[in-house]
Every structure is written in C-alpha cells, then in structure tokens.
Structure 1
Amino acid sequence: MVTLPGESVSYWMESAAPTSYPRLDCDVAADVAVIGGGMAGLCTAWELARTGRSVVVLDAARIAAGVSGHTTAKLTAQHGLIYAHLRSTFGAEAARLYARSQTEAMEHVVATAAELGADCEIERRPAYTYAADARQDGEIRAEVDAAREAGLDACLVTDTGLPFRTGSAIRVADQVQFHPRRFLLALAEDLTRRGGRVYENSRVRRLREGRTNKVTTETGATATAESVVIATHYPAFDRSLAFSRLRPLRELVIAGPLDDKHAPPGMYITPHEGTRSVRSAPYGDGRRLLIVTGEKYTPGEPKVAQRFDRLISWAREHFPVREITHHWATQDNWPTDRVPHVGLFHLATQNVYVATGFGGWGLSGGAMAGRTLADMIDGREVAWAGLYDPRRVHPIAEAGAFVKANLATARHFVADRLRPVEHDALAVIPPGGGAVVRWKGQQCAVYRDEEGAVHAVSAVCSHLGCVVAFNDVERSWDCPCHGSRFDVGGGVLHGPASAPLSPRDVREE
C-alpha cells in the first residue's frame, strides 16, 4: 500500500461547503441543458439565466468537484508559452483575440464575484513563466515579444522573486488567484435564484439531436431543450471525433503551510523540469498554503507514487514548507493545435455546443467559454468565435501532435492486449494493490482490499476499448487512451466513459 504525507484531498474541496442538489428523477424541459457543472458549465448556465432563459445543469457527481475542484486555481491570461506559438502558427490577430478573450474573462470573474459577494479569496498577483536555466532564455524572449504584441502588459525579467536561481521569465502584472470552488458555489446559488435548476448525481448517457434535443440520464430521466452545451471536460459523446484531437494529461498537486514571509509573491510556471507550477493561498495565522503542481503524465502510466515523491522533494528543496498537508491530482485535455474547442459541437449540428481542450488553463478558459457560448446561443456575434471553433481544421499546425497522439492511442489499443499481463497469479497482488491479470482468457482488472479480498472488473475501458492500468496512489483504474478513470469497483470517476467496467467473477484457487 502506498502512503504519502498529508490528506488525499483537494484543499479547495476541503475548505468549501458540500453541495446537496437533487438527482434528476423526472422528465424536465428548458431552453438550454448544460451537461457538466464545472467552471465552463456553470459559467455558461449563469450567463444564460441572466438573459432570462430557462436552464438545467446536469452533473454526473457533484458540481465544482471535478477538474474545477482540483485545479491550481490560477486565473490569468498568461498561459505559459502560448503567444509565440499562436503568432507563428495562426498570425498576430489570433494571438490578439486569444489575449483579449482570456483577459476579459478574468476580469469578468472578478466583477461577478464582487456582484455576488462571493468569499472566494481573490488576490491580484503577477504571473510568471520562467526558464529553468539560461538555455531556454530565447523561448522566453520570443514569448514576451509575442505577448506584448497581443496586448498583454508583459515584460522580460531576470529577478522572479523565487528563492532559487532560474533563467529569465515573462512577467504579466495584475493577474488573479482565487478559491475556485467557493466562486462556483456562489454562482450556482445565484443561478437557482434566477430560476435555473441544478441536478447532481445525474450522469447523462445519451443525446438525441434535432430541432429539439433530448438528453437521457442513466436512470432514464430526460431533459428536453432547444440547445445543449456539453461541458464535461472531455466530451461525453464521440460524434465530433474530438477524441482524435485531444490528449488527456494528468498532473499531481501537493500543498503545505509556510510562513507568510516565505510565500512566493506571484504565480509561477515553467514548462521545463516536467512542469512546475507554484502559487500560495491564504491559510490564516500568518501563514500561506504553498501549492505546487507538476509531474505531467498520461493517465495509466505507472509509478504515480514516485512522481509524487519527486514533486514533494522538489518543493522541500526550494521552499521551507513545514509539512505536506494535502495531495491530489488533476487532469485536463491538450488540443492538437493548443487552442480550446468552444462552439458548435460538429459540422452537422445547429444547436449543440461544446467547451473542452483548455490545456491546463480551464479557469480563464471556462469563464471565456461561458460568455462565448451564451452569446452564440442568444445569436450575438463573438469576435473570437472562429479562433475557438471546434470544427476548425488546421492540418499543418496540428499534423505533428495529431499523429503523435493517435499513434500513442493505437499503440495502447493493440500492444496492451498483446503484451504479457502484469501478474500471472492473484497471490502476488498485495493488500491495497491492483493489477491486470488474465483469467480464463479475459483481461481482468483485479484489486485486493486491505482485508485481502479481491475485487475484479473488466480491464477493457467502456469508452472505446483500451486496456486500463492501476493507479497505485489514487487506487483507480485509468485508461491511457482518452483519460477515463474508474474506481476499484468499476464505477466511472472521470469521462469520457459513461458506463462502468463490467464485473468479473475472479476467485483465488
């Protein structure tokens, strides 16, 4: 059994109130049905409710408890090394539209929090992307130039305020960090006051498109709506073939208190060293909570505990953190051209929309998506709609990442079936451990609980049939192809899968 320091819980989840919205147990109708209650879904629903439209929100579990409840919680238009990429690939105007849309979304969240009186700890901080050493300084200089041309107040600095040596950095002033779950819960409360309806534990299994759309939950209850918004992180339906243009990546997060005087003065990220992202949050009694994210990897890759150990060692080496009090993980999807998909879901639809592919920047991206989709549904023109259009095709810009992502998926789909399974016998699986084993000709995902009993389910992901792998820290079955995750009993933790893993009758001799 793997043991890590601190509680296995997101600080944002621990420090905000729980929710208790009802399950959808009867058929309902609305102008718009929003599938997914995270940043993108709730922002979209709230914006629509403000215009007088009737809205229902359907979440598979609890609202603001998925990716939005497990983020690093930076709300910024400074997204790593994005602007040099946008300028060189799509042109200076695309970079300007990206900067404008993300900045306006950030300021809109701040204004909305003030309007609602949300106690979500909004703090203005500079955002930095820094080079690990001088060898990457050229990348930073190019990003500064592109970001300034795009309209950001960016500058090149060599002093980041971090307590260790780095290369140069791009600095963008007056960005935001906040408590995302408290903001979203305030948004949901105001949504219901405006007549919106929120349903939890209401996983959507089917979508029937038409002039009027119908979504059906796993209990058979339906929501009929003129428009549907799919904001499920990874699209819950495959008809747009988005799975071929999105790459799921998982990142680890650790947190621990330190004295206020030692807290980093801004928000920091480096794309080097396996990604390291740093910020702090209010923690009381003259302390701040240091939050460090990194160790980016594909779901289903082994040795998650070792990745956590590396992240913890890095934090302790660079900051006088007293103890690690929390650890958790988050996940997002990286589009092949590095631009989110926000708009009409596929070429044949006129009233089904999607928001996905935020590439680790889902808070500003989700707020942008909320405003963009609400305007599109209301028939208003959106300046950056073409930039984010999910139906866009950029064969040259996407070719390399597209081929790489789909070759990796194909390799898993075929090779994971042909390679020897992890263990030949159940006896070698320790308490708290799991492995894919072959049992009577079938690949089974077998977990042994602390009392020694085995629990087995199919090892074949219910989404598109890849073979899952055991996550030794979170005790879950993770799919390496499209990022679906399941608990040890086979229940869905994370889409795009909507059906559980089938149980298997595996018995020890």
Structure 2
Amino acid sequence: MTLAGLPKHAKSYWRDSSRIPSFPQLQEDLDVDVVIVGGGITGITAAYLLVHEGLKVALLEAGKLLNGTTGYTTAKITAQHGVIYDELIQNFGRSKARLYYEANRDALHWIKTIVDQNQIDCDFKIQDAYLYATTDPSAQRLEKEADAYQKLGIEGELVHRIPLAINIQNALVMKNQAQFHPLQYLTHLIQVITEKGGHIFEETTAVDVEDGKKPVVITRDGHRITANEVLACSHFPFYEGLGLFSTRLHADRSYIIAAKTNKPFPGGMYISADKPTRSLRAIKMNGEEMVLIAGDEHKTGQGKDTLEHFTALAQFGQKTLGLKEIRYRWSAQDLVTLDQVPYVGKINDSQPHILIATGYRKWGMSNGTAAALLLRDIVMGKKSVHQDLFAPSRFYAHPSLKSFLLENANVVGHLIKGKLELPKKKSEDLARDEGAFIFIDGHRKGAYRDEKGKLHLIDTTCTHIGCEVEWNRAERTWDCPCHGSRFSYTGEVLEGPAEKPLQQYDYTMLDILLSEDSGY
C-alpha cells in the first residue's frame, strides 16, 4: 500500500458524519456560576453535569465544538490504557492504581447509562479489549500486567490467540469495555445543555484569568466572564497560573485510517503492547463495516515525514485484513503527564476556584468523562476518593523527576537544533502543495505553496517559548517540537499552548525581496 492509496486530504470520519450545532461568538460580559473553557468531551460532559445541578454555566470554545482531540479519536471507551497497571502499582501503590481503574470503569458505566436512558443513537457497543504482544519482552510485560489485574481485581485474563491474522506471543483481555460514535453521543449532551439554559459560545478564545474570590475569565476580544468556578478543559490548559504545565506535559501525535477490508472484522478492540503501536476497531459507515487502524505515535513536531505514518498503517492493514479502499485518514494529538496519570482538579492550593483537566494520554473517552465527573464533585463541594490521585499539584519523585529532566532536556535540544538547522530548499523550488523552511535575508521563514500556486510565508519561531516549528506534510501545518503547539500554513493557532499566531508575510513581499537579491 503506497501514498497513492491514501485520501489526498486529512478528514475525520466522526466530524464528517455528524451534524454538530453551531453557536455564536461571545459579544458581552457575563456573570455565571461556572465558566468552562474547552468544547471537547470533558467540557461538554462537565457542562451537562453542572446544568443538571441547577447551576448557570457558560461554555467557551476557541474554535468550533468538537474540533479538537475529541473529534479525532479512535473512540474506545475502556479502562485498558496500554500496559499501565503494573507501572501504577509500582509508582502509586495498589490502592491508587485501583482508584485509577475504578475512575475509568465508572466513566464507561456512566456513558452507558446516559446512552441507554436517553436512547442516544451513537453506535454504542460492548466489546472486549485486547492488549497483544508480538515480541518476548512485551509478552513478559503482559504477564506482569496480568498479575497486576489480579492484584487489583480487574476482570481479565491472559490468552495466547486473538481472532486476527497477527502472530502474537500472548494477549491480555479486559472484558466488557465499549466503543461508540463520540460526536453523535456528545451532540445529544449539547442539546440538553442548551435546553437547560446553559450558554455555549464558539470562536471565543479565553486568554487569561483574573484570580480572586470570584475569578474572571478574559477573552481575546476583551469580554469578561465572572464566575464562582473556572474549569480549564481546553486540551492544553489555557491558563497555567503557577503550575508551569508546559514543563510537565508533552504532546504526542498518532494516526488513523478508516478502511474497507477484504476480511471480515472479528469484533473486539485491539492495541499492541509493542512499538510502533497498532490499534484496531470496527465502525459502521453508511451501513458498511469499516475498520479503524491507528497508531504510529511520535512526539509532535519530531520524527519522519508525517505521511509515512499513514503509509505504515495502510501496510499493516493490508497484511492483517486486506484493504479494498481507504475512505478517511486523520491524526490526533494528546498530552502526556510526567507520571502517566491525568491532571484533574484545582490548579494549586492558592487558586482553589480555578480547575484544570488535561493529560489523558490518548484515552480521553474514559479519562475525559472521569475528569468531568470529578470536576462536578469538586464544584459541588463533594469529597471524591479520586481527588488526590488526579491532583495537578502532585509530584512523585519516581517517575516524575526523571520524566521532568528528560522532557525538558528534549525541549532544550530541539530549541537549539531548530536555530542551527539549514534550509534545503529555495522558495522557487517549491512545487504546488509543498512546504519547507527557507532563509530570507538570513532569517528562517516557513513557506508553503498551495494547490493554486500561491505562496504563504510565516515566521517559523513558535510564539510560545521560541522553538522553531517544523512542516507537517500530512496535515499541511507547522508543528512545534518543544511543547506541541500547531499552526495552520497561514500561521493561525490550531493547538496550544501557543496563544498568538505565527507572524505572516504577504507573499508579494517575496518577489520584492528576490528582486533585491536578498539571499534566498
């Protein structure tokens, strides 16, 4: 399977198959009980929970609802998050490892209850989840993970065959997990939020918080929303306070193709314990069964040509199931904390009315729902058994210190590398639909020639801490290798922590500079 078999443009099936309502931009100051920033699964679920508590809620989304990580997921609802429980026992102890499992198990049960009670048509299905190993080292890790399941009372077992044409050493199954169409599910929650008087605003970017007994969220347009509680559910926290979360998180990207296969899919959800990751699950697309093949993750802005990741997934799909046609391709980005457990709760003790939720490590359907349930409890003054486990202010010397040092050394390395890297192309060398960085009068600039031949120029210095962004050919974006900020080819912010766009240059300036022999 080659690039020729891939759709030319990246597009999420979830978004393409959903009718998501649109909402106006905020045009005035507001006073509410709770303001929620971020229109993904956590923000929407939290708003749904809090309007049911009778609170006045405002939900702000910088772009369009469900156009972030939630709209680009594999949509597995499971407490099986890779090989995690043996590690959690080692780092947190048995009781907290069990709490992590229970939080995600309860999130699955909560989603199922909402779907059943409201008869939401979202293709919700109970499935067993398989974590499989193809090498001896990974098989040994799964044996330890199976022991962890037993210690924690998790329903599951070690098996030596799965119903796929993959030569495995062993596999660990977690029973009675689930999958669904996330946007059809969340669209129903959005409808309920508005029916119960919740306010939703799109194209409304929150940029700061004035702290106090009643904090005030300030938007880019200068509007002020006063609330008793602020919930930052915006993937990367739009407000860090003293938390310095950019030093405690890193961004990973992964890739997904949706394909019609020659072999029927046997049911279940699968993910490899080996790297590169391979993940599979089925979906229904206009009555036809399709298979989502995902994985090949890497740190954002780092690694090989991004289109090669899609090719690798297609080759795996061809070998495993045989591919008739690839209908969709897209990618997703999520954040990883120092100790693998999300940060959910008050940002710190000195700012108790500002809460965050982030770091789901690509398991946002369960983790994001669990986060919303915990945020609801905190807002309502209820003590939760999960509060200490997910507290953003926690810091465990092992493994957090080692991860902190490694991640920040990685940032420094890429900060220096980007400044020293030399261009390989000149602007006139760029074909249509090609991007690269070039030098203009000794300064690094990003250039992309679109399909109509127009040249788009930007400054490649990320507006977060000054790293140099890299060209992402698969999505036609500029991605930062330091903290995962992403920008469109015209410089607009697509993913934080950056808040300001890259500086743009009128492409006609290039002709002027070239005529002056400015050293391209």
Measured against the shorter chain, the TM-score band is over 0.9
Please show how residues 134-149 of structure 1 align to structure 2 within 5 Å.
134-149=136-151
2:42 alignment partner in structure 1: 40
- Given that residues 10 and 474 in structure 2 are in contact (C-alpha distance below 8 angstroms), is that contact kept between their aligned partners in structure 1? no
2:361 alignment partner in structure 1: 359
CA distance in 1, matches of 2:20, 2:481: 31
2:518 alignment partner in structure 1: none
Deviation at 1:38, TM superposition (A): 0.4
- Given that residues 157 and 170 in structure 1 are in contact (C-alpha distance below 8 angstroms), is that contact kept between their aligned partners in structure 2? yes
CA distance in 2, matches of 1:373, 1:475: 36
Deviation at 1:4, TM superposition (A): 5.7
1:257 alignment partner in structure 2: 260
1:201 alignment partner in structure 2: 203
Deviation at 1:468, TM superposition (A): 0.6
User: Which stretch of structure 1 is more off in the superposition, 233-242 or 384-393?
Assistant: 233-242
| Identity in percent | 31
- Given that residues 343 and 389 in structure 1 are in contact (C-alpha distance below 8 angstroms), is that contact kept between their aligned partners in structure 2? yes
Counterpart secondary structure, 1:354: strand
Aligned residue pairs: how many? Answer: 505
CA distance in 2, matches of 1:132, 1:22: 50
CA distance in 2, matches of 1:298, 1:432: 24
Deviation at 1:236, TM superposition (A): 1.5
2:301 alignment partner in structure 1: 300
Q: Deviations over 1:237-275 (max 9, x none)?
A: 23311111111000010011236x711321111131311
- Given that residues 344 and 354 in structure 1 are in contact (C-alpha distance below 8 angstroms), is that contact kept between their aligned partners in structure 2? yes
1:493 alignment partner in structure 2: 494
Please show how residues 46-57 of structure 1 align to structure 2 within 5 Å.
46-57=48-59
2:91 alignment partner in structure 1: 89
- Given that residues 231 and 355 in structure 1 are in contact (C-alpha distance below 8 angstroms), is that contact kept between their aligned partners in structure 2? yes
1:160 alignment partner in structure 2: 162
**Residue 247 in structure 1 maps to residue 245 in structure 2:** no
1:60 alignment partner in structure 2: 62
User: Which stretch of structure 1 is more off in the superposition, 318-327 or 368-377?
Assistant: 318-327
Counterpart secondary structure, 1:130: strand
CA distance in 2, matches of 1:45, 1:323: 39
- Given that residues 104 and 366 in structure 2 are in contact (C-alpha distance below 8 angstroms), is that contact kept between their aligned partners in structure 1? yes
2:132 alignment partner in structure 1: 130
2:188 alignment partner in structure 1: 186
CA RMSD in angstroms, aligned pairs only: 1.5
Counterpart secondary structure, 1:114: helix
Match of 1:217 among 216, 219, 229: 219
Counterpart secondary structure, 1:262: coil
Deviation at 1:284, TM superposition (A): 4.7
Q: Deviations over 1:186-228 (max 9, x none)?
A: 1111111111111111111222221111112222222211110
Deviation at 1:380, TM superposition (A): 0.2
CA distance in 2, matches of 1:160, 1:193: 45
1:453 alignment partner in structure 2: 454
CA distance in 2, matches of 1:394, 1:429: 49
CA distance in 2, matches of 1:99, 1:422: 49
- Given that residues 299 and 479 in structure 1 are in contact (C-alpha distance below 8 angstroms), is that contact kept between their aligned partners in structure 2? yes
Counterpart secondary structure, 1:325: strand
1:326 alignment partner in structure 2: 328
> Which amino acid is 1:478 matched to?
D
CA distance in 1, matches of 2:229, 2:179: 32
- Given that residues 471 and 477 in structure 2 are in contact (C-alpha distance below 8 angstroms), is that contact kept between their aligned partners in structure 1? yes
> Which amino acid is 2:283 matched to?
A
Deviation at 1:164, TM superposition (A): 2.1
CA distance in 1, matches of 2:491, 2:397: 38
Deviation at 1:422, TM superposition (A): 4.0
> Which amino acid is 1:50 matched to?
H
Q: Deviations over 1:417-473 (max 9, x none)?
A: 1222343x2112221111122212432111112232211111111122111111111
Counterpart secondary structure, 1:164: coil
Deviation at 1:3, TM superposition (A): 6.1
1:368 alignment partner in structure 2: 370
Cα separation, partners in 2 of 1:19 and 1:344, compared to 1, 3 Å: same
> Which amino acid is 1:299 matched to?
T
Deviation at 1:350, TM superposition (A): 1.0
Deviation at 1:495, TM superposition (A): 1.5
CA distance in 1, matches of 2:448, 2:376: 44
Please show how residues 96-115 of structure 1 align to structure 2 within 5 Å.
96-115=98-117
Cα separation, partners in 2 of 1:449 and 1:356, compared to 1, 3 Å: same
Match of 1:411 among 404, 410, 413: 413
> Which amino acid is 1:333 matched to?
L
Counterpart secondary structure, 1:115: helix
Structure 1, unmatched stretches of 5+, are none
> Which amino acid is 2:179 matched to?
Q
CA distance in 2, matches of 1:479, 1:488: 13
Q: Deviations over 1:278-319 (max 9, x none)?
A: 10112354x311001111012223401112111111111111
Structure 2, unmatched stretches of 5+, are 515-520
> Which amino acid is 2:373 matched to?
R
1:344 alignment partner in structure 2: 346
Deviation at 1:10, TM superposition (A): 0.8
- Given that residues 207 and 219 in structure 2 are in contact (C-alpha distance below 8 angstroms), is that contact kept between their aligned partners in structure 1? yes
- Given that residues 5 and 325 in structure 2 are in contact (C-alpha distance below 8 angstroms), is that contact kept between their aligned partners in structure 1? no
Counterpart secondary structure, 2:310: helix
Counterpart secondary structure, 2:316: helix
> Which amino acid is 1:502 matched to?
Q
Counterpart secondary structure, 2:50: helix
Deviation at 1:143, TM superposition (A): 0.6
CA distance in 1, matches of 2:140, 2:49: 41
- Given that residues 100 and 151 in structure 1 are in contact (C-alpha distance below 8 angstroms), is that contact kept between their aligned partners in structure 2? no
2:445 alignment partner in structure 1: 444
1:393 alignment partner in structure 2: 395
Counterpart secondary structure, 2:32: strand
- Given that residues 63 and 203 in structure 2 are in contact (C-alpha distance below 8 angstroms), is that contact kept between their aligned partners in structure 1? yes
- Given that residues 12 and 180 in structure 1 are in contact (C-alpha distance below 8 angstroms), is that contact kept between their aligned partners in structure 2? yes
